[in-house]
Amino acid sequence: MERWQQIFVVTLLSSTLCINTTATPTIETGTFKPEISKSEMDRWQEMVGKWYGLKNIGNGGIRHQLMNRRADGTYIIELLIENKDGNNRYQAEVGHWGISGPIYFTIFRGWIEDGEISPSSPYDPYNYDAYEIINQNENIFQYRHFSTGNEYTIKKVSAEFKLPVKDKRQLNISSE
């Protein structure tokens, strides 16, 4: 990632953490920052809802992810690792998400354990991720992690969709 991109992402993520979601703005939108375009608003709305993806991992296992993004910029992601030996792992996480231009970002805020949220440290840089948007439309989202280079492809699914999925062919997503 180029230096300007790093500065942009850090600034964006830092400012996101300072926002009080219950506050009502007293300054009209567009006063200090231009209003976002209709296409930017449409892109945000396309991201809302449930998205599913899977990826082959080492030792013949499969990583399933079910991301549920809300319009308020929060998310819940469920991760299921199906190992060939049958030793499967499940984890659910919460956080904030957003897009700005060609950048998609997530801020990991904690784990869901026994119905309760165990918060993560806001001081840990590992909890902040930025991605290059490769392709985005109402059905498919492809993105690449700036630091690791890992690429992900996820597909929009119905609100009723749940993990685990036993037959990846039902979604017509290729395993990478």
* 90-135 per-position pLDDT tens digit: 999 999 999 999 999 999 999 999 889 999 999 999 999 999 999 9
Q: Which pLDDT value is given to residue 117?
A: 94
pTM of structure: 0.74
**What distance in Å separates the CA atoms of residue 130 and residue 128, rounded to the nearest whole number?**
7
Beta strands in the chain, from DSSP E residues, in sequence order: 49-56, 62-69, 74-82, 89-100, 103-113, 116-119, 128-136, 140-145, 151-157
CB 152 within 8 A of CB 53: yes
**Residue ranges of domains in the chain, CATH in brackets:** 3-16+49-171 (2.40.128.280)
- The answer to whether the bond into 34 is cis (omega within 30° of 0) is no
Other Cβ atoms less than 10 A from the Cβ of 172: the count is: 7
Q: Which pLDDT value is given to residue 30?
A: 63
**What distance in Å separates the CA atoms of residue 96 and residue 20, rounded to the nearest whole number?**
13
Residues near 63 by beta carbon (within 8 Å), at least 6 away in sequence: 54, 55, 56, 57, 79, 80, 81, 82
**Closest by alpha carbon to 137, among 158, 162, 154, 149?**
154
CB 51 within 8 A of CB 69: yes
Other Cβ atoms less than 10 A from the Cβ of 34: the count is: 8
Q: Give me the count of residues in the chain.
A: 176
CA 161 to chain centroid, in Å, comes to 17
* Mean pLDDT (the chain, rounded): 82
Roughly how many angstroms between the first and final C-alpha of the chain, as a whole number? 23
pLDDT digits (tens, 9 = 90+) for 56-93: 988 889 999 999 999 999 999 999 999 888 888 999 99
Q: What totals of helices (H) and strands (E) does the chain contain, helices first?
A: 2, 9
